[in-house]
Structure 1
Amino acid sequence: MRPPNLIYALDDRPSPSIGTLLGLQHVSIVAIAFVFPVLLVRETGGTTLEASFMVSMSMLAGAVGVVVQALKRGPLGSGYLCPQVCGPSFLTASLLAAHAGGLPLVLGMTMFAGAFEALLSRVLHKLRFLFPAEVTGVIVSMVGITVIAVAGKNFLGFERGGNAIDPSSLTVAMITLLTMIGLNVWSKGNLKLFCILVGMLVGYGAAMTVGLLPVDELTQTLSQPIVWNPFAHHPGWSFDIALTGPFAVAVLCSMLKSVGDLTTCQRINKTNWVRPDMENIRKGVLGDATGCFAAGVFGGMAQSTSSANIGLSIATKATSRTLSLFIGGILALLAFCPKLAAIFAVMPAPVVGATLFFALSFMIVAGVQIMTSRMLDARKTFVIGLSIIAGLLVDVLPEAFTAVPPILQPVFSSSLSACTITAVLLNLIFRIGIKHSVRITISKNDPIGEIITQFMDKQGAAWGARPEIIARASTAVMEYLEALREAYDPNPATVQVSFDELHLKIQILHQGTPLPIPEQRPTPETLLESEKGMTLMGAWMCARLTDNITSTTFNGQAVVKMHWEH
């Protein structure tokens, strides 16, 4: 069902002019991550030409990734608008490769990373237990939290003022952010759609006014060639089996983040979303692997799904998969036109910070919504809390992890990777001791409502079930037991509950025959005149609260089975 709050939903087709402008907004977010390949080349003493080559090839790989990800049919792609960026999860492993064998080794290991992720995607549907809502939700939120440090330094102007706030940078950043927020909250139509693009243009103007975008930088930008052939500068490929470990860990971290990103795409595009569609995510991860592999082939940095771009889609309420064609087309054009690409390269730091703050606000909240879509008990609280603490510990005390073995460095290279691995491991540990089938016996004088509510709430939280399903199930069981008590001199009844993430099943066992389930609601006359009127009403309400209910008698014992899709 089409979400009513979207301006351009998944299957909508915006006009070419609207699509181009929305595509430019997404490309402006993607461009922020081009700092990673530049940093990678600089760290190894590379030339400006090598940096330009790697940025251009990263653009081309991103173009392939966003188009493939939006494919609706076939084995590749989730069918959602989910652009790719140079993956921060791969930075540490890529630096190890660059120091060991230069750019050729980085590209060869990037191809390995794409192939390994493609292999993992084939078995992803069998690993659903690794991705409950609390794990995917905490990863999605942590993506935003991880970038706060980088965004904050740009927002406050630390590059200009050292560790002190630069007033000019802060002013430009505030003007940019307030423009974006104002247009998003209080405007309508195209101004709301293009709130980031307009805000960035205002930010560029403000930066020029206060001297944060010098004229000589713009002149240097315009001096770039209009067209070039980056493939002529390709350095080739090499491979080192010793680096497969660090890159495998980086792939795992990146893939789990992609699972969270694709889950968010499902949630914002489906009004009745209840759980991750693992088959769709499996295809999406394979599409993500395709973009990563393409980066290795072309000569770019490893690619990963972009949480910030999904946040942009939420903010602008435009999730049309058609936009992937515009984004891919713009990125491909920029890959061969350095004069145009350089416009994004000179983006003022405070504009970068403001844009990130705006987009990541939506991403952090999206993660919280995923986490709270399920009931939480002490186990899940520890999974969420300890994972966030482990992630932030890497940022707060980075010196504590400097001596870890090289194979584990990708895990502790960022708060996101540390949080992700911690969440997965804690989820596996805390699954120990959770029974998937439990039972309780209700005696003659027991308070039905109190006992059933406490029992179901406790189990629902342990299983991470949806609150509304547990509420319906609790009420259905209470209605049946209350009606049973009205109808007969009750013997003890046993309630057996089982859960497997996709289904909630309840069996009620008691002596005698099961209550008759009326197909229609009892009439007022039946309620007033029949001794069994209230019993029939309770049984009818019980049936209305379930997705399916059946009853049989076996060896003199009634067996009532209730079922809910989860």
Structure 2
Amino acid sequence: MTGWLDRVFPRPLPSARQRPEEMVYAIEDRPPLPVVVGMGVQHALLALIFALYAAIAAQGIGLDERQIVAYVNATVLVMGCGTLLQALSSRFGAGLLLVTIPGAGRLPIQIALTLHYGLAATMGATIVSGLLAVAMARVIPRLRSVFPPEVIGVVLVMMGITLITGGVSRSVGFTQGTYELSVPAMLAAGATVACMVGTAIWGSPALRRVAMVAGAVVGTAVTALTGNMPAGNPLDMPWMAVPVLGLDLPLPEFHPVPILVLALAQFITIMDQFGSTLSMDRMTDARWRRADMAMVARSVTGLGLIHVLFGLTGTLPGGSASANIGLAHATGVAARRVGVAAGLTLMLAAFFPPLAGLLVMTPAPVVGGILLYTAAYMITAGMDLVMSRMMNPRRNFTVGLAVVIGTSVMLVPQLTREAPDWLQVIVQSGLTMGALAAVALNALFRIGVRKTVRHTLDPAREAQEAAEAMEYSGKLWGVRPDTVLRAGHAVGEALEALRESGVEGPVELSVSFDEFNLVGTLSYQGVALRFGTAETPDMAAMLDAGDDDDIDAAMRRLSSLLIVKLADRVRSAQKGAVAELRLSFAH
């Protein structure tokens, strides 16, 4: 049984992360208990703000006041379960600080399906979409070439751009059907952003840990001073309630059309989860090199399981919150133990309706300021990810055209008005269209790219030609610059070692790349060189002795050691009269 489980849901492997300088506590760090609790509460409070989407969904499907309270509480309970699952290092979660919130993009779908087909059909379709995510997670580790850094970078950029509309609208005082600028709203949003940015840039580590709270408090204070606090009294709600029990839930039903619609919508959520996971992974590892597809698979597995729970409770499904990633960036605290604390806090808050009600009443300009801060971080994180690889025209147009396509459906909504109703959920989402375009363009532009490039080196300038060949290949395949530089030095040292050993005649360099390794193979007429693991020679003693033969031998050993250090794997082979030296560089 365990063997089958390990094959289908692999256990997380130990990771060798290095904490970035700007990060106070990285993923596996153990912050002091007060920091864990304090930051966990902050993340829970930020997530509770977005429980407003659940209240809107409940109103949209026609629930009464009592049922709306129960609906929001049930949503908060599932949010806590999802946050806890993602924070735990297990085969069913990413082991990252990823906070679950209801999805704003799911609001119109949830309301429309429930009104047309009934809550039972929406519940069944949500359960199926969750199981679909679990199934898709099984193939994600094999899709690394489909999701290179430039594709994920586009997803992050589009995630940031999609936050701008909601952030700006709230920040300037736009409401449903009203588009008049509000000076008090702009003051409150500006104060929120300024406080968060100032704290993140100039604040001490202790102050950075309360950046979001400080920004929210300052923004709320400005809102109160201008007399624009939201109406309502959360104290009118019952002090305690058991989540879910207040809902009159039917048994799930399974109808083809709702299942198809939510299956398409699930792709949006999976891509969002993909980008959130890699953003947090990259932010917390100074030695980040490549997408950890196994981690992404566990993250999507957790997403799918939580969507099953959203379906069973009939609540509004969602994914990991970008705003909470922005909070982790602002505070420099990303320890997964904070995620555990946030999940437990949310689960506890679900039993106290006034708490959720109070947070739902957070002034809209304050929420807008938080969204704008997060949008800025997500966009720059995406750009940084795109530029982590060497660029060429193929990669430039993959990124540029994907962003153009994604933003075009946002800036020119008339483009999608004629699309069928069932397709609207896809074509109206800038994030989805940008992500789909990036994946499709990446696949298209890879056509005609050779997997192996061969060069016959001119003996008069072979080291320079080898370095140029490596740089050309790196741009062709999008290899990281540091890997290309390391490979160029190693191949140059290898060529010098070959000549020192007596090899004559031309040497052929073959370069290949498979997303995991950059490989340079030198083929020549002669005897294969063998590289041992000898200790570094004492050059000072050699020079003092003055024996030229000993010095030459020591230099050869140094060259061999340098090649072994630069390359991740070195292998020599003899094929008749032709010898090969294969240098592999992990990517």
Q: Same fold (TM over 0.5)?
A: yes
Which residue number in structure 2 is paired with residue 3 of structure 1? 19
One of 136, 155, 159 as aligned partner of 1:120: 136
In 1, the alpha carbon distance for the partners of 2:335 and 2:209 equals 12
1:87 and 1:301 in contact (8 A); partners too:
yes
Per-residue CA deviations over 1:59-109 (Å, capped at 9, x if unaligned) read 111111011111213x21121111111124434542441342243333222
- Residue 245 of structure 2 aligns with which residue? 231
* Greater mean alpha carbon deviation, residues 365-374 or residues 387-396: 365-374
Mapped to 1, the partners of 2:300 and 2:86 lie a distance apart of 9
Asked whether the 8 Å contact 2:220–2:366 carries over to 1, the reply is: yes
For the pair 1:509 / 2:523, whether they are aligned, the reply is: yes
1:341 to 356, 361, 364: 356
1:529 equivalenced with 2:548 (yes/no): yes
Residue number in structure 1 paired with 2:509: 495
Q: 1:333: how far off? A: 2.7
1:435 pairs with 2:450: yes
Instruction: Please state whether the residue corresponding to 1:339 is helix, strand or coil.
Output: helix
Q: How does 1:164-313 map to 2 (within 5 A)?
A: 164-213=180-229, 217-218=231-232, 220-229=233-242, 230-236=244-250, 237-313=252-328
Change (3 A) 1:117 1:469: same
* Alignment length (residue pairs): 561
SS of the counterpart of 1:8? coil
Structure 1 CA distance, aligned partners of 2:522 and 2:537?
Answer: 22
Change in CA separation of 1:481 and 1:174 when aligned onto 2, cut-off 3 Å = same
> C-alpha deviations, 1:250-296, integer Å up to 9, x for none?
11221122122212222233332222222222122111112211111
- Aligned partner (choices 33, 37, 46) of residue 20 of structure 1: 37
Task: Rate the CA distance shift 1:535–1:180 in 2: closer, same or farther, 3 A.
Answer: same
Residue from 145, 151, 167 that aligns with 1:129:
145
Query: Is the 8 Å Cα contact of residues 109 and 296 (structure 1) preserved in structure 2?
Result: yes
2:430 and 2:574 mapped to 1: Cα distance?
A: 57
User: Displacement, 1:456?
Assistant: 1.7
Select which of 13, 37, 48 maps to 1:31: 48
What is the alpha-carbon root mean square deviation over aligned residues?
A: 2.6
Q: What is the letter of the counterpart of residue 548 of structure 2?
A: E
Q: Within 5 Å, give how 1:341-360 maps onto structure 2.
A: 341-360=356-375
Question: Compared with structure 1, are the counterparts of its residues 489 and 271 closer, same or farther at alpha carbon in structure 2 (3 Å cutoff)?
Answer: closer
Deviations 1:377-413 (A, max 9, x none): 2222222111111111111011110121234222113
Preserved contact between residue 19 and residue 25 of structure 2 (Cα < 8 Å): no
Q: Tell me how far apart the structure 2 counterparts of residues 15 and 483 of structure 1 sit (CA, whole Å).
A: 53
> Retained in 2: the 8 A contact 1:27–1:330?
yes
Once the two structures are superposed, the pairs formed by residues 30-109 of structure 1 within 5 Å of their partners are: 30-73=47-90, 75-109=91-125
Q: Could you tell me which amino acid in structure 2 is paired with residue 179 of structure 1?
A: C
Larger CA deviation: 494-503 vs 236-245:
236-245
Tell me the alpha carbon deviations over residues 421-467 of structure 1, each in whole angstroms, 9 at most, x when there is no partner. 1112222222222222221111334x334433332222212322221
Q: Does the CA-based 8 Å contact 1:440-1:494 persist in structure 2? A: yes
**Do the aligned partners of residues 554 and 522 (structure 1) sit closer, same or farther apart at CA in structure 2, a change above 3 Å counting?**
farther
Q: How far apart, in 1, do the equivalents of 2:42 and 2:146 lie?
A: 34
Task: Write the distance in 2 (CA, Å) between the matches of 1:552 and 1:45.
Answer: 73
1:134-149 alignment runs, 5 A limit: 134-149=150-165
Provide the rounded CA distance (Å) in 2 between the counterparts of 1:427 and 1:542: 34
User: Are the aligned partners of 2:249 and 2:313 in contact in 1 as well (CA < 8 Å)?
Assistant: no
What residue number does 1:475 align with?
489
Alignment partners' CA distance in 2, 1:280 and 1:401 = 35
Q: Which moved more, 1:383-392 or 1:528-537?
A: 528-537
* Partner in structure 2 of residue 410 of structure 1: 425
Cα deviation for residue 486 of structure 1 reads: 6.3
1:192-244, Cα deviation, whole Å (9 max, x unpaired)? 10111122112211111101105xx25x2222221234422233233321122
Give the TM-score normalised by structure 2.
0.88
Structure 2 Cα separation of the partners of residues 28 and 412 of structure 1: 33
Distance in 2 of aligned mates of 1:432 and 1:492: 31
CA contact (8 A) 1:140 1:307 kept: no
Equivalent of residue 377 in structure 1, options 368, 379, 392:
392
In 2, Cα distance between equivalents of 1:44 and 1:78: 33
8 Å CA contact retained: 1:259, 1:281: yes
Which residue of the partner structure matches residue 5 of structure 2? none
Amino acid at match of 2:260: G
* Cα distance in structure 2, aligned partners of 1:522 and 1:506: 30
- CA deviation profile, 1:100-152 (whole Å, cap 9, x unmatched): 22433332222221111111112222223222111112212221111101101
Q: CA contact under 8 A between 1:40 and 1:98: conserved in structure 2?
A: no
- Write the distance in 2 (CA, Å) between the matches of 1:39 and 1:435: 52
| Aligned equivalent of 2:572, options 548, 551, 555 | 551
Please name the residue that 2:4 is paired with.
none
What is the CA distance between 1:358 and its match in structure 2?
2.0
Cα distance in 2 between the residues matched to 1:151 and 1:411: 22
CA offsets 1:155-188 (integer angstroms, 9 cap, x no match): 1112399334211111111122212222222221
Distance 1:318 1:390 in 2: 35
Contact 1:141 1:367 in 2 (8 A): yes
1:565 aligned partner:
586
8 Å CA contact retained: 2:240, 2:351: yes
- Partners of 2:440 and 2:358 in 1: how far apart? 43
Paired letter, 1:440? H
Query: Identity of paired residues, percent?
Result: 28
CA displacement 1:1-36 (0-9 Å, x = unmatched): 451533233334445543333123212332343343
Q: SS of the counterpart of 2:249?
A: coil
Matched, 1:453 2:467: yes
Matches within 5 A, 1:140-159: 140-159=156-175
Cα distance per residue 1:510-559 (max 9 Å; x no partner): 11234575844583757993595777665554343212323343322221
Q: Which residue of 2 aligns with 1:466?
A: 480
Establish whether residue 163 from structure 1 lines up as the match of residue 190 from structure 2.
no
Unaligned runs of 5+ in 1: none
Counterparts of 1:224 and 1:43 in 2: how far apart (Å)? Answer: 20
Cα distance change, pair 95–375 in 1 and its aligned pair in 2 (3 A): farther
Residues 377 and 99 (structure 1), Cα distance of their counterparts in 2 relative to 1, 3 Å cut: farther
Q: In structure 2, what is the Cα distance between the partners aligned to 1:19 and 1:422?
A: 40
